[in-house]
Amino acid sequence: MPHGLYPCLRCFPSTERTPIRPGSIEWPAEGSLDRPTWDQLIRFLTAHSPQGAETPCLAYYNPIIARDFDKGQVRSGRLGDARSLFDHPDILYTPSNLWAADRSWVVCTDYDLWGTKVCGPRPLVEALLADPGIEAIRLPWTS
């Protein structure tokens, strides 16, 4: 990846209209996590939440991704049940935002940037950065 660019389509050379996509790269689902990453993220959040699997949390679905502009797509439940959101029959994507009801952490999956941001306690962030199965970088702090 070119220095100074966050993961996105601009990281690869392109013509004016057609990006060159290396064939060896599996491209992410835009606005959603893949199943292994989602499951691993839920494991990390559970391990670093004071109430563990019982942590109350909320999930928000971006109306562009959910293709539903008429009603809100916010669901509430236990963190221990969050893995099942991947298998919800009516929604084909992971939530755009997932957060603990006590606001101790938040997960934001960005449709346009092909990335997910996790903000939370230092031990959670350090564990994500140290895990070899998750591609993670620390974003610079800006004000």
Residue 138 pLDDT level (bands cut at 50, 70, 90): confident
Task: Quote the percentage of the chain above a pLDDT of 70.
Answer: 73
Supply the DSSP string of 22-70, one letter for each residue. Answer: -TTSPPPPTTS--HHHHHHHHHHHHHTSTTGGG-EEEEE--HHHHT--S
The more confident residue out of 29 and 41 is 41
Structure token pair of residue 14: 């392109």
Which residue from 82, 2, 92, 5 is spatially nearest to 44, judged by alpha carbons? 82
Structure token pair of residue 65: 């991704």
- The predicted model scores a pTM of 0.76
Question: 73-126: per-residue pLDDT in tens?
Answer: 788 999 999 988 877 777 777 888 999 999 999 999 887 777 889 999 999 999
Which residue from 110, 138, 111, 140 is spatially nearest to 124, judged by alpha carbons? 138
Partners of 75 in beta bridges: 59
Task: Quote the percentage of the chain above a pLDDT of 90.
Answer: 36
SS (H, E, C) 60-117: ECCHHHHCCCCCCCEEEEEHHHHHHHHHCCCCCCCCCEEEECCCCCEEEEECCCCEEE
List C-alpha distances in Å: 18 to 9, 10, 13, 29, 112. Answer: 11, 11, 9, 19, 17
